[in-house]
Structure 1
Amino acid sequence: MTSTPAARAPRADARRNRQRVLDAASVVFAEHGTKATLNDVARHAGVGVGTVYRKFPDKDALLDELFAHKIDSLLQLAGRAASLQDAGEAFRELLLGLMEIRATDRGLDSILAGPGRGDRFTHELAQEFLPAVDGLVARAIRAGALRADFQAQEVCLLAHMVGKVADITRGGDPDAWRRYAQLIVDGTRPSPAPLAPPSLSFQEVAAALGRDL
């Protein structure tokens, strides 16, 4: 029997409600961290808390879904950067974009600190995001737009540094981090002075970030 538009409507409504909950959760957890409740998410989404619980049985289930979305946002950022013709601009788009994600999302560290998510994040970075960054870094170095001793995994630490600036200045000037982000980006331009000590490996970067979550 062919389903009618009326019969299909509840499924469409359910999809829209699910997306409303996810959009609201992204905003609420970014602004308040994971101490925010599902009631907070429901209020922001304009739905009853029962709707939230029907989609996500508990906060961890919702955070797991947001985790997947955050991985996608990193891959989309790398894709947008790779589409730029100018190699230096492509690298700066990636680095500034990564810094902005870390600086403006207060819930990111808490989400990654959830059970098993840190290891999954490291795996996703190593398998998909880091190779894309590697290509952008190599391209920028070849074009003479990036210092020759820069390593792809260093974008993670630089973004984390800017995120810490955002954390301690948010109460006074929520945009203060942008100045320091630009200072760091400018510091990646080619220089005859070598950096010391050598870069941490990806495994060392991942371990250091894991200890700080």
Structure 2
Amino acid sequence: MTGRLPHLVRSDARDNRARILDAARAVFAEEGLGAPMREVARHAGVGPATLYRHFPTKRALITETFAEQRRTCHTIVRDALADSDPWRGFRHLVEQICELHAHSRGFADAFMTAFPEAMDFDADRERTVRAVAELARRAQKAGRLRPGFVVDDLLLMLMAHRGVQDVPRAARLAASRRFAAYLIEAFRAVPGDAVPGDPVSESAAPEAGASPPLPPAPRLRSAYPRSTPDPSSR
């Protein structure tokens, strides 16, 4: 009888940990990273002491909660870069990153925010940005992506995409896909676009009714705060 006790304790601990992570995914997905730890414990059906025994800080809980999404993000970037068609790779990256964000307000918050050093989402975002820059270079060279596109346009897009979280859950994914489809069409090169490298006369006036050139893209990456309040204090 006594020989079974350690096994039962370990089994209970594993079950509690799994319930906490399931609860955290659900709570952070709907409420974002501002949700308090006590709400996660309540949702998991465990006491605060049990939660903190497994995850001493909120940073630790968030890091483990979104481990699978981070792995998925790495796969999306890798597959997009490996695609022999750069425009298709670019499209798929935009579509799948939007879908990943649509599933969880918390993951979108972590991805878009320079979070404390225990969470390496900043590196995930930079990896995605570098992939977009490389895919954009290839797609522009192939004449498929607007020559005016710059990598910070992706970050601007993801900032706007966060509004999808306000859509009712049942319609959220469809709204995200529609948003991504509109953005991809906006990025697509169209007849009359200047081809990268083609000289454009400074004195050339736009034709009547022609759309004005896009304003310079804001430097969004440099606008991110480099530190945020410690979430473990919440």
TM-score normalised per structure 2: 0.65
After TM superposition, list the pairs within 5 Å mapping 1:26-37 onto structure 2. 26-37=25-36
1:115-139 residue CA offsets vs partner (Å, 9 max, x unmatched): 636x96445533x332222222222
1:152-186 residue CA offsets vs partner (Å, 9 max, x unmatched): 2321211221222x134337943334322211111
Quick one: distance in 2 between partners of 1:15 and 1:159? 36
Aligned to 1:170: 168
Give the AA of the match of 1:169: V
Give the AA of the match of 2:125: L
Quick one: distance in 2 between partners of 1:8 and 1:138? 56
Aligned to 2:151: 152
Aligned to 1:161: 160
Alignment RMSD, CA only? Answer: 3.9
CA contact (8 A) 2:114 2:225 kept: no
SS in 1 for 2:220: helix
Q: CA deviation at 1:187?
A: 1.1
The count of corresponding residues between Structure 1 and Structure 2 is 203
Give the AA of the match of 1:189: R
Relative contact order higher in (CA < 8 Å, ≥ 6 apart): 2
> Any gaps of 5 or more consecutive residues in structure 2?
195-212, 229-234
Quick one: distance in 2 between partners of 1:137 and 1:12? 49
Give the AA of the match of 2:116: G
SS in 1 for 2:156: helix
Give the AA of the match of 1:205: L
CA contact (8 A) 2:32 2:105 kept: yes
Quick one: distance in 2 between partners of 1:14 and 1:92? 43
CA contact (8 A) 1:95 1:159 kept: no
Question: What is the aligned counterpart of 2:221 among 197, 206, 212?
Answer: 206
Give identity over the alignment, percent: 31
Give the AA of the match of 1:140: A
Q: CA deviation at 1:38?
A: 3.4
Aligned to 1:61: 60
Question: For the structure 1 residues 101 and 157, does the alpha-carbon distance in structure 2 shift closer, same or farther, using more than 3 Å as the test?
Answer: farther
Q: CA deviation at 1:23?
A: 4.5
Bigger Rg over Cα: 2
| Further displaced range: 75-84 or 178-187 | 75-84
> Any gaps of 5 or more consecutive residues in structure 1?
1-5
Q: CA deviation at 1:29?
A: 0.3
Question: For the structure 1 residues 151 and 17, does the alpha-carbon distance in structure 2 shift closer, same or farther, using more than 3 Å as the test?
Answer: farther
Quick one: distance in 2 between partners of 1:209 and 1:115? 10
